[in-house]
Structure 1
Amino acid sequence: MRRYAPWLLVALCAAGALVASSAVSGWWWCAAGPLLALTALGGWDVVQRRRAPLRIHPLVGRLRYRVREPAEPIGGGRDADEFLVPSMCPLPPPEEEPRVRVGGPECRLPYDMALMNVSAMSFGALSAQAVLALGRGAALGRFAQDTGEGGLSDHHLRGGGDLIWEIGSGYFGCRTSDGGFEAREFADKAALPEVKCVSLKVSQGAGPGGGVLPGAKVTAEIARARGVAEGETVVSPPRHRVFSTPRELVLFLARMRELAGGKPTGLKLCVGSRRQFLAVCKAMLAEGVTPDFVVVDGSEGGTGAGPPGGADRLGMPLTEGLITVHNALVGSGLRDRVRIGASGGIATGSDIVRRLAQGADYTNAARAMMSALGCVRAGRCHTNTCPAGVATQDPWRARALDVGDKARRIHRYQRETVRSAVRIMAAMGVPGPGGLGPGHLLRRTDARTVRSYAELYEWLEPGALTAGPPLSWAADWAAADPDSFG
């Protein structure tokens, strides 16, 4: 009730002024009128559904909307020194949204991925209402929602959208009593029709050392879903139990795919060492096993669970990580078997096109989706006091997020962003994502020089590493060991 205190105080003053206007002097109407109007406005704030902060903090929440913030697209500023190449002979945009078939030779149930999907965000980091709204938005737009490493909750399933079930080092949702991987539970949940893909989180830009969920956000429901103690901070182990070498990682991915009934199976990582990822590629070649997809997370990622810290200084930014993974797979002769997703700061249609030109097949967005949910970037995700009901487990705060309204906003945002990307590709004279390449993206390197990404970075030919690596890759390729991450 403390959140309603200013509004209730205004209402009390309005009542007092109204009584005084009758008992003392008619001049009291000068105060009663404005106070009654403010009382009515506060009542409207409580019942309206579009702005969650006003539902939580009637009247006072309006102060936020009086502060004009700098004009800036969702997800960060745009780089004026980087731009796409338009064509003097543009094409008409296609009528249907392009989709990407995810599923390699070992996959029995391939999935057609949208160009933009909901990136990994767990129930626990986000409220039940936020998770449900994301799922319903995904169902409306036929795109995928990554569950994050916090488990496959009822709220994900109730959303009705396509799900990518992510498994982290805590194995939440398929966890033994001592914190190991429970294969039977994993297989049962992966068989659900809502689950279209399964993903193993190796690392992420937001928390490379393991995810953190503060104890204040660990409710009884979340504790049951994750198999942990209520009210105690949950720290995901820094490394997996199921593998300790690149070869073991690749073989575990094959096991996951088999347990999942042949559904697309992949991994997510924030790239730190080119040599280590090359070791994974060597393990793929040695075992004849490839993941169906690799999601590259940039070090610029954020988190709605743990406190902010130095995570954005650990790992490669998305551009470098994405180009590294693309080149490593191409050079190993594996790129045609593996799709690449890009995650980190994706917010606009041009962001999608840029990442496709750099080597991605599709993109995932988290921060921009949270903004579409109503996130006001208060920086209080880890305190359980989110003023928008997005990143909290406080039922009073979470109830302020109207699921139906936010689901429609998520749907509209994704739809219009993908349409923007399609229109940009058409303006570039490119018929679809497959026609994009590094030559379509330019960057100003100094006051007089503009160079394309085809010139700025080295791009390997298919099989170049196995045939005899170029000098710039030779040392890392030689040192990459499929039986050691060292």
Structure 2
Amino acid sequence: MTPSKPSQDSANYLFLVLPRFALLWVCILLIPISFFFKIWWLLFITVCLTCLGIYNINQKRHAILRNYPISGHIRFLFENFRPEVRQYFIEGDREEVPFSRLQRSIVYQRAKDVDSTTAFGSLNDLSKPGTDWFLHSGRSHKISDHNFRVRIGNERCSQPYDLSVFNISAMSFGALSAAAIESLNKGAKQGGFAHDTGEGGISPYHQKHGGDLIWQLGTAYFGCRDEQGKFNPETFVQRASLPQVKMIEIKLSQGAKPGKGGVLPASKITEEIAATRDIPMGIDCISPPTHPEFSTPRELVHFWQRLRELSGGKPVGFKLCIGMPWEFMAIVKAMIEEDNYPDFIVIDGAEGGTGAAPVEFMDSVGMPLVDALIFVQNTLVGAGIRDKIKVGVSGKVISGFDIAKLMGLGADWCNSARGFMFAVGCIQSRSCHTNKCPTGVATQDPARQKALDVPDKSRRVANFHQNTLKALAEIVGCAGLNHPNELMPHHIVRRQPDGWIKLLSEHYQFIDSGSLLTGNCGRRVLDDMWKLADPNSFQAMTIADEIVDAQNERTRAHQEHCT
């Protein structure tokens, strides 16, 4: 049986329908009234609203507009303004979505060179589980020079670079506007720190002001690719030989969307972007999820050595968001077997957010930064090679405390992307992927980009860097130390869920140097994953493979003993 339709004459039906169409009926009624009394502005408005209502009744895309042809738009209006209303009027000062008001305020104040000190006590609940704090020393002192640096480059590197401990993380021209790139690079030049290009290549705006660059090579090899999108050594040599390029970073994955690759919408591709990346206009620019130049850990080692030679001996390393742990361990095994180590590794935490990504990737894929740092630190120490490689980190780094904590847990330096975006003028509207950034930071719209004044914003970038390092120096001096590379896990305390406190050296389990090589590091899960790591494949070895390898190892040992 088919359901019976409500009668047009039914009082119940009219009772339900009339309120929904009330605004439309009012507009229709006002048309002749406004015409008769010659109220032309009212006539114009009512005619427009009536046409809108009739259109909405007949359209099939939005059900709510068919039932509420005029008033239904109020719902969409509120939905559009909800993020701004929540950010400015509802959210708390420490509610991180993804950065709290206090975090943003710290950046804005330091970028403007305004005193960021506060009074009347901390707003933090120091008894809350998970709260961290530094232990100060009776030998605390003032550090006059806050220009902390770390040397990048091992014995295979002929052009080492003294890198600041706080730098601009990877953000591409295309994702950011030309004015934003200019501001960041000019600020890096003024402050004496490095600017990571992101995988989008080296644009004219990266080169205009002469700031030091870390050239990032993604899976699409923008700026050094042939017509098929593969690596082109000739164009790589041309770019890598630029005096501005101080380091070269192979991007394996990023925290915002690990394992997914990247997309630059066609709407954001200008002639300049197309020329910088060697790509056509009019279609979305896709970066594949994996590199075509290598498919195994051992091939990755050969690739970074090739880049090191082509660049004339500049520091070469790679960046990744930790996924399957044995894959990173496989890379470490390949390093050891080839006796060839990267000059640096950058760990990107899953908190990273400068790349637009599906919500599933943004929220539920990739290892958070601190966990990833502890894992990488343990792996490199356990393999006995920590002293051969410098480790950088990126992921929601804003304050001097953030840098000090991460360096205390093993990092040699920190990068920040969104922190420097705030310094340029970002207001966290979360519209980076729409090409409608309200401040002109993440857009290719020429009219919106005009909002950024490069001389002013570059000073703010340099100020934010300088004032953050001053805050870091105060923490280091408070601990009785002279350089942040002296910070250790035992300098930091964490409140536990049961209310007790622990040093981070006790909270996290750190292993001894070389203990992974002996198969007894004290953490069974690390020992087991180390056994699964295969230097010839990113896939985990099976138990059968492990047995065969063990037998082969015993055979080789027996043969060596006999000879």
Deviations 1:426-476 (A, max 9, x none): 101122123111111211112421111111122122222123332522211
Q: Pick from 306, 315, 323: which aligns with 1:255?
A: 306
Structure 1 residue 380 displacement after superposition:
1.1
Matched position secondary structure for 1:397:
helix
Alignment-derived partner of residue 46 in structure 1: none
Structure 1 residue 106 displacement after superposition:
0.6
Q: Pick from 458, 461, 482: which aligns with 1:407?
A: 458
Q: Does structure 2 retain, via aligned residues, the 8 Å contact 1:389–1:399? A: yes
Residue identity matched to 2:250: L
Higher relative contact order (CA 8 A, sep 6+): 1
Alignment-derived partner of residue 482 in structure 1: 535
Structure 1 residue 70 displacement after superposition:
4.2
Deviations 1:60-113 (A, max 9, x none): xxx99x945743333699895111211122122142522101111111011111
Alignment-derived partner of residue 328 in structure 2: 277
Distance in 2 (alpha carbons) for counterparts of 1:75 and 1:459: 33
| Identical columns (%) | 46
Q: Does structure 2 retain, via aligned residues, the 8 Å contact 1:82–1:444? A: yes
Alignment-derived partner of residue 225 in structure 2: 175
Alignment-derived partner of residue 420 in structure 1: 471
Mapped pair 1:90 → 2:143: no
Residues 97 and 202 of structure 1: is their aligned pair in 2 closer, same or farther, counting only changes over 3 Å? same
Deviations 1:128-161 (A, max 9, x none): 0000100000000000000000011111011311
Residue identity matched to 2:530: W
Mapped pair 1:235 → 2:286: yes
Distance in 2 (alpha carbons) for counterparts of 1:311 and 1:194: 33
Residue identity matched to 2:414: T
Structure 2: stretches of 5+ with no match in the other structure: 1-83, 94-100, 107-123, 540-563
Alignment-derived partner of residue 196 in structure 1: 246
Residues 75 and 340 of structure 1: is their aligned pair in 2 closer, same or farther, counting only changes over 3 Å? farther
Distance in 2 (alpha carbons) for counterparts of 1:445 and 1:76: 28
Deviations 1:227-272 (A, max 9, x none): 2221311121011001111111111111111111100111000001
Residue identity matched to 1:126: L
Distance in 2 (alpha carbons) for counterparts of 1:244 and 1:266: 17
Alignment-derived partner of residue 362 in structure 1: 413
Alignment-derived partner of residue 457 in structure 1: 508
Q: Does structure 2 retain, via aligned residues, the 8 Å contact 1:125–1:305? A: no
Structure 1 length-normalised TM: 0.84
Mapped pair 1:398 → 2:442: no
Residue identity matched to 1:226: R
Structure 1 residue 207 displacement after superposition:
2.1
Residues 260 and 315 of structure 1: is their aligned pair in 2 closer, same or farther, counting only changes over 3 Å? same
Mapped pair 1:155 → 2:168: no
Structure 1: stretches of 5+ with no match in the other structure: 1-62
Alignment-derived partner of residue 362 in structure 2: 311
Q: Does structure 2 retain, via aligned residues, the 8 Å contact 1:76–1:345? A: no
Residue identity matched to 1:243: F
Length, aligned pairs only: 425
* Structure number, greater radius of gyration: 2
Matched position secondary structure for 1:446:
coil
Matched position secondary structure for 1:74:
helix
Structure 1 residue 309 displacement after superposition:
5.5
Deviations 1:163-194 (A, max 9, x none): 00000001000011001011111111000000
Structure 2 length-normalised TM: 0.73
Alignment-derived partner of residue 41 in structure 2: none
Quick check: 106-115 or 441-450, which moved more? 441-450
Residues 316 and 67 of structure 1: is their aligned pair in 2 closer, same or farther, counting only changes over 3 Å? closer
Mapped pair 1:340 → 2:383: no
Q: Pick from 481, 485, 488: which aligns with 1:430?
A: 481
Q: Does structure 2 retain, via aligned residues, the 8 Å contact 1:257–1:265? A: yes
Alignment-derived partner of residue 74 in structure 1: 103
Mapped pair 1:140 → 2:193: no
Q: Does structure 1 retain, via aligned residues, the 8 Å contact 2:257–2:355? A: no
Alignment-derived partner of residue 180 in structure 2: 130
| Matches for 1:382-397 after TM superposition, within 5 Å | 382-397=433-448
Q: Does structure 1 retain, via aligned residues, the 8 Å contact 2:256–2:356? A: no
Q: Does structure 1 retain, via aligned residues, the 8 Å contact 2:397–2:403? A: yes
Quick check: 191-200 or 274-283, which moved more? 274-283
